[in-house]
Amino acid sequence: MVLPIRLVPDPILREVCAPVDRGADVSGLARDMLATMYAAPGRGLAAPQIGEGLRLFVMDCSWKEGLPDPRVFVNPVIIDRSGSQTNEEGCLSLPDVPRLVARADRVTLAFDGPRGQRTEVFEGLAAACVQHEVDHLDGVLITDHPEAPLGP
């Protein structure tokens, strides 16, 4: 089911989200979040953007290029960052307000999976997307980042 996306200045977008209880079934919520993200159309969507104050986000950085790879991340924590990149980012909660944001080019993310906690490394666009969505879980928006200069 496609859900309504919360827009700035909705206060839930500024809240630090609560961890998802271990063993909680969030599969239905994640499925609805993916449907909402694809319909928007976006590359990522965090739970507070649909009114849920939970540490959960969905992402698919390659579907717009015809390579769908839907992902669900529960209780994500960035445990390492390296390198740098600057990209123009958009946000489904701030339509038509793109911003140049400087972020790490490589991140290691720890998160809960179906068989326990795991870690995964993301680079480039996927690393930027992970950082954008984790920001949402901490009540941070792209407008909170200083406008980055474009270039090396």
42: left (phi over 0), alpha (psi -120 to 50) or beta: beta
Q: Which whole number is the average pLDDT over 53-75? A: 96
Question: Contact at 8 Å (CB) between 50 and 36?
Answer: yes
Distance from C-alpha of 149 to C-alpha of 152, rounded to nearest angstrom: 9
Q: Is 133 a catalytic residue?
A: yes
pLDDT at 44 exceeding the cut of 80? yes
**The pTM of the whole model exceeds 0.85:** yes
Q: What is the mean pLDDT of the chain?
A: 95
pLDDT at 123 exceeding the cut of 70? yes
Least confident window among 62-66, 114-118, 147-151? 147-151
Q: Which residues, including other chains, have CB under 8 Å from residue 108's CB and lie 6 or more apart? A: 78, 79, 80, 81, 119, 120, 121, 122
Which entry of 52, 120, 123, 133 is annotated as an active-site residue? Answer: 133
For domain 11-144, say whether CATH 3.40.50.720 is its number.
no
pLDDT at 150 exceeding the cut of 70? no
Give the full edge-to-edge strand order of the sheet including 106-113: 44-46, 56-59, 71-82, 106-113, 116-123
Residue-level pLDDT at 23: 86
* Structure tokens that stand for 45 in this block: 């969507």
pLDDT band per the 50, 70, 90 thresholds, residue 151 = low
